[in-house]
Chains A and B, each alone.
Chain A
Amino acid sequence: MSITISGDGTITGISSGGLNDGIITDDELNLSANASNIKTALNASGTAPIYACRAWVNFNGTGTVAIRASGNVTGITDNGTGDYTVNFATAMPDVDYAVTGTAMRNSTYASDANPVVVALKSNTTYSDNATTSSFSITTHWSADASNQDPIAVCVAFFR
């Protein structure tokens, strides 16, 4: 049917309603995270799939503990020296996410021979420290594992 505009401004030939489900696929709309145009925009070459960061936080663990910036994080809980819990704003789908982290030592410690390590808090079980709503970490010396408060703690979660 052709679309007609009459002299009084009436438009005919247009029906209401949408397309049936499945007529246009995600690939055709390029809505897939791994569609070629999305990968190009992200400078992701090759065919390996893309998995997104689901939450992240950068905070100062010294003095007045404060968050510099974050994504999908309500806040962190300071449980003690080098003992923190990252709380997610929107829950993870399960507890099988992967975590990566780094920390910068307090500048009052001059030696580079004893870096700070970010680790899953390990005094209890995995399920006690990794839930869909939060994840607990410790930051400690690599040499003796004693907990330390770093001036920067950066943690990211992937799933």
Chain B
Amino acid sequence: MNRIIFPKTDGGVSVFVPSPDCDLTIEQMAQQVVPESTPYKIVDESEIPSDRTFRDAWVWSDND
């Protein structure tokens, strides 16, 4: 399943986790949850680290 990632105002990263019970597309979800004028990326969940030891140190990068 996909995830939506976007930068937080403090420099960190938010990761949107879609519900399997919601019929909206991932693009429609992005329109709802990502703040206006904020960049975002849709990625596969496998690209999100499962080790959350340093979760609060994750930072946004514009590089792919």
B residues with CB within 8 A of A: 1, 8, 12, 14-22, 24, 29, 32-33, 45, 48, 50-52, 55-56
Interface size on A, residues (CB 8 A): 26
Q: List 15 A-B contacts (CB under 8 A).
A: A64-B48, A70-B22, A73-B21, A74-B19, A76-B19, A77-B16, A78-B17, A79-B8, A79-B12, A85-B33, A87-B16, A87-B29, A87-B33, A89-B22, A134-B33
User: Is A65 part of the binding interface, using a Cβ–Cβ cutoff of 8 Å?
Assistant: yes
Q: Which residues 40-80 of A sit at the B interface, judged by CB distance below 8 A?
A: 57, 59, 62-67, 69-71, 73-80
> Is there contact, CB below 8 Å, between B15 and A77?
yes
Minimum CB–CB distance for B6 against chain A, Å = 9
Instruction: Tell me the number of A-to-B contacts counted with CB atoms below 8 Å.
Output: 76
Minimum CB–CB distance for B55 against chain A, Å = 5
Minimum CB–CB distance for B17 against chain A, Å = 5
User: Is A36 part of the binding interface, using a Cβ–Cβ cutoff of 8 Å?
Assistant: no
> Is there contact, CB below 8 Å, between A73 and B22?
yes
